[in-house]
Amino acid sequence: MSSLPGATRPARRTRDPQARREALAAAVLEVIAENGIGRTTHRAVAARAELPLGATTYYFPTLDALIAAGLERAAAAQDADLQLWAERLGGTTDLAGTLVALTADYLADRQRAQIEYELCVAAARDVALRPLASQWLDGVHSLLEPRVGSAAARNISALLDGAMLQVLVTGSELDAEGLANAIRRLAAA
């Protein structure tokens, strides 16, 4: 078979296994954010990653393995968030104000926040996912406990999660003043 003069053969995409794994893990998070874990499929993830359907099962033999790869990626992002929170809380004298600012920053990336809450809901059903979901809950508690004690840290952590969930579900704005006042009351208790 001859080609036309001057025609060039299209460049073949390199098949970098690590890049494909990363693309699939990132794509599964986007699909989870849009559809939820229960409606995430190999086909939807492959389409989002712009990879052949067979790549999903080649790199992740089961849908659970594919979802777990995405959720592990989300957990790594949570670790980075906790590190940021630790740095910002370490140098503040206004605990409530700083927590409100950190919460607002967290909610600015709505897709990521939705993914992390999807993880929590999935962990309520799947024991294997609980360690990933617990990372955030335990991490925030650990950051607050030295400053306000265990009981207040648990209550403030629950308040923050509730405020975040309310914003995600209702699409409303974060009530910064109300949240700061509630944190101050819980910290003083």
The answer, yes or no, to whether residue 75 has pLDDT greater than 60, is yes
Residue 90 lies in a domain: yes
Residue type for position 151: A
pLDDT single digits (tens) 9-42: 334 345 788 999 999 999 998 898 788 888 899 9
Q: Would you state the torsion angle of the CA atoms of residues 130, 111, 20, 42, taken in this order, to the nearest 10 degrees?
A: 70
CB 72 within 8 A of CB 132: yes
Say which range, 109-113, 122-126, 150-154, has the weakest mean pLDDT: 122-126
- How many structural domains comprise the chain? 1
Residue 3 lies in a domain: no
* Phi, psi (deg, nearest 5) at residue 87: -65, -45
Residue 12 lies in a domain: no
Buried/exposed code over 58-91 (b: 16+ C-beta within 10 A; e: otherwise): ebbeebeebbbbbbebbbeebeebbeebeeebee
Q: Which domain holds residue 82?
A: 17-188
CA 141, 82, 116: angle at the middle one, nearest 5?
90
Residue 119 lies in a domain: yes
pLDDT single digits (tens) 41-65: 999 999 999 999 999 999 999 998 9
Residue 9 lies in a domain: no
- What's the CATH code of the domain at 107? 1.10.357.10
CB 122 within 8 A of CB 63: no
pLDDT single digits (tens) 86-98: 999 998 999 999 9
For residue 148 the two structure tokens come to: 């306000």
- Residue 24, judged by CB atoms within 10 A of its CB (0-12, 13-18, 19+), counts as buried
The answer, yes or no, to whether residue 160 has pLDDT greater than 80, is yes
Residue 4 lies in a domain: no
The answer, yes or no, to whether residue 181 has pLDDT greater than 70, is yes
Residue 2 lies in a domain: no
Q: What global pTM score does this model have?
A: 0.76
Residue 75 lies in a domain: yes
